[in-house]
Amino acid sequence: MQSCVIRVSMLLKKRSPNLWHRRLGHLSVKGLTTLAKKEVISMGKSVALDSCEHCLFGKQHKVSFSSTKKNHTELLSLVHSDVCGPIEEESLGGSRYFVTFIDDASRKVWAYCLNRKDQVFDRFKSFHAMVERETGKKLKCLRSDNGGEYTSREFSAYCAAYGIRHEKTVPRTPQHNGVAERMNQTIMEKVRCMLSLAKLPKPFWGEAVLTACYLINRSPSVPLNFEVPEKKWSGRDVSYSHLKVFGCKAFAHVSKELRQKLDLKSNPCIFIGYGDEEFKYGCGIPK
């Protein structure tokens, strides 16, 4: 019996890097090694990963853009933004696009799913109010491309009213908005990997996008010299103990008020993301 326990323990340690790789949205070996050295995740001595076919399916080589300016050090001194889409299939919520906002100093990313591109302005206003309330700082500069969703009169008037400098890139030069472009590419690579591993249909892309951003914010960032964006943003240590593999089997508790004496206390479902509050999970039932 004792030898059996030892073998199981060794197996769990051996598989641990692969499990963390999946939990963290197919994070690289370098990223896993960094987190292990910081002792925020527990792994065996070896961080070698098994070949992940989902990374092969979902990731591609990226075109390198030369670095433009040095990173800002003050939160909200510069925010990058870009829209991704249209996605070929609607999300579960009916979205075809998503917009991202990235704080240059912390590299924390926020994503909002959109039904239409003209919703970018409303999402930006919500984002603006939230981040200024969280930090007590003022957003100084927004950098985006020259798309119509960023150049409306309402958008320009709003930025002027709040003293936000709006830097717009030259048309047909996406490399000038490289931070946001690369972030959206990274998000989509993670989305493809997670959907492939979970064997979920394309309409789950919206949940995968939000989960990818949640995990990116908790993963070491190269521009930050492998610091973690969420810690850089909040100044607080980040927890990893609650992370689950996207699409894994889950059981949702049925509250006492919604069941009878002989009803089951939980319903089988799948894990599809994290809620706004820590340790809060999103679950769904694929059709």
pLDDT of residue 172: 63
First to last CA, the chain: 42
- Delimiting residues of CATH 3.30.420.10 domain(s) in the chain: 79-234
pLDDT of residue 283: 79
Name the strand (E) or helix (H) holding 229.
helix 229-234
Q: What are the distances in angstroms from CA 83 to CA 112, 124, 183, 198, 218?
A: 10, 12, 11, 26, 22
pTM of whole model > 0.85?
no
3-state SS class at 10: helix
Report DSSP letters for 237-258, one per residue: PPP-TT---TT-EEEEEPPGGG
pLDDT of residue 34: 76
Closest to 209 in 3D by CA, of 192, 231, 230: 192
Task: Kindly give the confidence (pLDDT) of every residue in the chain, 287 residues in length, as a single tens digit, with 9 standing for 90 and above.
Answer: 334 433 334 333 444 777 877 887 777 777 777 777 776 777 665 666 666 766 665 565 444 444 545 678 899 999 999 999 999 999 999 999 999 999 999 999 999 999 999 999 999 999 999 999 999 999 999 999 999 999 999 999 999 999 999 999 876 666 668 999 999 999 999 999 999 999 999 999 999 999 999 999 999 999 999 999 999 999 999 999 889 999 999 888 888 898 888 888 888 899 999 987 555 777 776 66
pLDDT of residue 64: 47
pLDDT of residue 60: 53
Residues 6+ positions from 277 with CB-CB distance below 8 Å: none
pLDDT of residue 66: 46
CB contact at 8 A, 79 and 141: yes
| The two structure tokens encoding residue 15 | 């598989």
Cross-strand bridge partners of residue 83: 99
pLDDT of residue 41: 76
The alpha carbon dihedral of 50, 63, 213, 98 has a sign of: negative
Name the strand (E) or helix (H) holding 150.
none
pLDDT of residue 11: 39
List of long-range contacts for 17-22, beta carbons under 8 Å, 24+ apart: 17/43, 17/44, 17/46, 17/47, 17/48, 17/49, 18/49, 18/50, 18/52, 19/245, 21/49, 21/52, 22/197, 22/245, 22/246
Please tell me the distance from the alpha carbon of residue 14 to that of residue 53, in angstroms, as a whole number.
19
pLDDT of residue 273: 92
What CATH code would you report for 79-234?
A: 3.30.420.10
